[in-house]
Amino acid sequence: MKFYDVTDLAIRNLRESVFRNSLTTIGISVGVASLVAMLSLGIGLQQLASSRLQKSGLFNTVVATSRRDLRNFREQREEGPPPAESPALDEPARKKIEQIPGVVEAYPDIRFVTEVRFDDKPYLTMVAGIPFSAKNNNDAFDGMQGNFFSSEAGPEVILQKSFAEELLGMKPKPGADETNIAALAKPLLGKELTMRYSERTSSPSSSSAGPGDSAAYSVVSRQLALKIVGLTDLDPDSMRGTARARVFLPLKLAQDLHIMQSNLRDTAASDSPSYTSLSVRVGNPNQVPAVEDAIKKMGFSAFSLVDATRSMRQFFAVFDGFLAIFGSLALTVASIGIVNTLVMAILERRREIGIMKALGASDADVRGLFFAEAGAMGLVGGAVGVTLGWALGRLINFGTNIYLERQHFPPAEIWSVPLWLVLSAIAFSIVVSLLSGLYPAARAARLDPVQALRYE
């Protein structure tokens, strides 16, 4: 029989006992819906967790340091060339690291302790450079007050909340409600902050000095007026632990100022500075190990927190597995329903099957017909089930967000139904239905026409 005829006859047959077949199909829908619901919850939570972590910069960042700087405070020997032969972590090295596949950018870490003046009062704090690209990939700037830097090297500054409190003379009371960041921002945004810093300038005699010597430069004291453009609640510098900065400058600006960094061991403030460490941002956390290896091969030390993401992914794989098993239970029950419905249909249509065989229908024709009926129920059940699961997910998401809002958390998508899940859920439903149709179809195909046609 041609495909059209098989489908046509199958649909006719399904319509003949529409009530029973609808019930069976609803059973499949509920099964698929529960599967989709479980899996999309798992996927949603995973996406939520990994996007939060990714934006924190913890898991897609490799910190590259020159081995020369390690010699004083690290006992442990690492593979690669001994520190003395390790190459300099300079501008050409930075460019080379940026060439590694998967690397989005590599930028120097610039941080220094200095004095800033606000309202004619001096404050001592750690200042750090933030790359312009952080605007879109660091979630510390998602909920910030004011704006991110307007240009790559503008004389602008973003303050961390605790520093803003200090500037305004407020002391955070332990246990009390958190200060409203919007209230903090109001008197600060647009105001001016003066930063004092020491600029290194190369001295003319420095040309003969080799790298590693810290002789040939001079320090000039300078100050710069900066406009406060933003205030952030979260800490964009979370990877640094204790050495956290509370004032942030555009990285390009910080570089151009040639600020004297206390831990910098290189000499020249010339065109090719050498860096203490580089932050290497990788597009996909999965590529972090490869990038780490590549950097180590170049002779630098590399460090990342990727192991943490690996165990997170492992956790979610197991978690999704469990959810899928629970979700599948309902589908298993539904597939037994299909078997039952089709076996009933064989008994009911015994004579009809006999007639079709007498008229010349082959075993394959009869089998195909029952398969098509099972498949059609699977298709419809799958489609309805996915819709049902999706609707259920929206509902739970809606409820969760109301709860999150009450708890003063930003809304979150804990429910995600990607297209691949929709398609594979429907495909899975069809496959399960066809498998359920296997036995009834075989039984119908083997039906003896003489017996089937015997007068009742």
Partner 1 sequence: MEIPGPNALAVRTANLCRHYQMGEVLVRAVDGISINIGAGEFVALLGPSGSGKSSLLNLVAGLDRPTSGAVIVQGNNLAALSREQLAKHRLHTVGMVFQSFNLIPSMTLLENVELPMRFAEVDRGERSARARQALERVGLSGRLAHRPTELSGGEQQRASLARALINRPKLLLADEPTGNLDSRTGTEIMDLLHSFNRSLGMTVLMVTHEQALAEKYAGRMLHLADGKLVDDVSNDHVPNISSVETPAPRGETP
Positions that interact with partner 1 (CB under 8 A): 1-2, 4-5, 9, 12, 16, 351-352, 355-365, 449-450, 453, 455
* Closer CB to partner 1, 251 or 444, in the complex: 444
**Please, are residues 303 and 109 in contact by the beta-carbon 8 Å criterion?**
no
3-state secondary structure (DSSP) of residue 246: coil
* Closer CB to partner 1, 395 or 450, in the complex: 450
Phi first, then psi, for residue 156 (nearest 5°) are -130, 165
Rounded to a whole number of angstroms, the minimum distance from the CB of residue 345 to partner 1 is 13
Residue (of 113, 68, 55) closest to 214 by Cα position: 68
* Cα dihedral value 347, 349, 351, 352, nearest 10: -160
Rounded to a whole number of angstroms, the minimum distance from the CB of residue 42 to partner 1 is 45
Tokens matching residue 126: 């750690």
Rounded to a whole number of angstroms, the minimum distance from the CB of residue 364 to partner 1 is 7
* Closer CB to partner 1, 8 or 119, in the complex: 8
Phi first, then psi, for residue 336 (nearest 5°) are -65, -35
Rounded to a whole number of angstroms, the minimum distance from the CB of residue 24 to partner 1 is 19
| Beta bridge partner(s), residue 301 | 65
Rounded to a whole number of angstroms, the minimum distance from the CB of residue 439 to partner 1 is 19
* Closer CB to partner 1, 48 or 355, in the complex: 355
Rounded to a whole number of angstroms, the minimum distance from the CB of residue 376 to partner 1 is 17
28 burial (CB, 10 Å; 0-12 / 13-18 / 19+) is buried
Rounded to a whole number of angstroms, the minimum distance from the CB of residue 26 to partner 1 is 23
Rounded to a whole number of angstroms, the minimum distance from the CB of residue 14 to partner 1 is 11
Rounded to a whole number of angstroms, the minimum distance from the CB of residue 455 to partner 1 is 6
* Closer CB to partner 1, 240 or 443, in the complex: 443
Cα–Cα distance for residue pair 67/55, rounded to 1 Å: 28
* Closer CB to partner 1, 142 or 448, in the complex: 448
* Closer CB to partner 1, 288 or 366, in the complex: 366
* Strands 121-130 and 217-232, sheet pairing: unpaired
Angle (CA) 98-99-105 rounded to 5° is: 25
| Beta bridge partner(s), residue 106 | 280
Tokens matching residue 245: 């900065």
Rounded to a whole number of angstroms, the minimum distance from the CB of residue 370 to partner 1 is 15
Cα–Cα distance for residue pair 232/211, rounded to 1 Å: 39
Rounded to a whole number of angstroms, the minimum distance from the CB of residue 346 to partner 1 is 15
Task: Tell me the DSSP string of 293-313.
Answer: HHHHHTT-EEE--HHHHHHHH
* Closer CB to partner 1, 225 or 358, in the complex: 358
* Strands 121-130 and 247-250, sheet pairing: parallel
Residue (of 360, 354, 357) closest to 453 by Cα position: 354
Rounded to a whole number of angstroms, the minimum distance from the CB of residue 283 to partner 1 is 54
With tokens 């995600």, the residue in question is 416
Q: Which amino acid, one-letter code, is at 240?
A: R
Q: Which helix (H) or strand (E) holds 412?
A: none
Task: Tell me the DSSP string of 162-177.
Answer: HHHHHHTT--PPTTSP
DSSP code at position 144: -
* Closer CB to partner 1, 100 or 445, in the complex: 445
Tokens matching residue 62: 């490799």
* Closer CB to partner 1, 176 or 347, in the complex: 347
* Closer CB to partner 1, 12 or 186, in the complex: 12
| Beta bridge partner(s), residue 337 | none
* Closer CB to partner 1, 98 or 363, in the complex: 363
Tokens matching residue 144: 């910030």
